Amino acid sequence: MSNQTFLNISAKKCLVVYPKIIENSDRKWETALLSANSEDYGTAVALLIISVEELIKGLIILLDGKGFKFRNVNGIKKIFEDHKTRYFIALTMTLLNIFSNELQKFLTDFSKRPDKWIKLVAILNKKPKFFERIASSYIETKLIEINNELKWFSNVDVYRQHGFYSDYKKELISPMSITNMEYLETLEKFRKIRFLGKSLIVALNPIEPAYIEVFKYIKHEFDSKNYYQKAEIILKKTNNKYSLFNMLSNALQPHHQEGKP
């Protein structure tokens, strides 16, 4: 078929093509590191961004190759055609990293000292007001972190363009003005996303029968709990270039204000 695209190729074909998409992501990543070594930080930043965009595209294709149905969601073509939708997914992966790191720390500490956590839970049960203050403080801290990430990711398209192209807005904007510090900040953020994405690729190719059953269950949950329809509703709300970011910002703002004295 001459009109085949990422949106309509078969699941079997998805499994054939996704490794090439990931390979392109890897190549862009390695070229970014080489550019940074040559102190071409503008190109390095732009290529890190493109690398993660390709990783996200590859993940969607792999997921559908494994039996998910993301490409059936109305509006999903934005992921393949729109930079900013991919940046929002990158932000979502960053937020997942934030909370997964916290969970991992808790589980590690719990496994080493379960008695400490059991005592703490007993105390908190007896002092609900104390628990509410701790919970409120924790949520406020995380909201600040989430808002900071939201602000940064809402400007990723600007960082990509400034990494490649010169412009003039009141003053010269040049890729050569991007600093090592800005490159390292981008590298740190996207390295976490890349690690999560690569881990998901490994998880989506299980060998153990138990893990295969887990994925059967997850696929069933996506169908039965209407997750695809929920994704469609979110995509339908994206009417302008930063509406996904605006939507999240508006959702967070009331909670952020509540936590302030």
Of the pLDDT bands very low, low, confident and very high (cuts 50, 70, 90), residue 57 is very high
CB-based contacts of 223, cutoff 8 Å, min separation 6: 69
pLDDT(211) > 80: no
From 115-124, 146-155, 213-222, the region with the lowest mean pLDDT: 115-124
> What pLDDT band is residue 126 in, cutting at 50, 70 and 90?
confident
Half-sphere exposure of 38 (CA within 13 A, CB side): 12
- Band of residue 242 on the pLDDT scale cut at 50, 70, 90: very low
Residues 6+ apart with CB under 8 A from 201: 22, 58, 59, 62
Q: What is the pLDDT of residue 208?
A: 72
* For residue 29, pLDDT beyond 50: yes
| The predicted structure's pLDDT at residue 259 | 47
Return the percentage of the chain with pLDDT > 70, whole number. Answer: 74
Residue 224: what pLDDT? 87
Domain ranges for the chain = 11-258
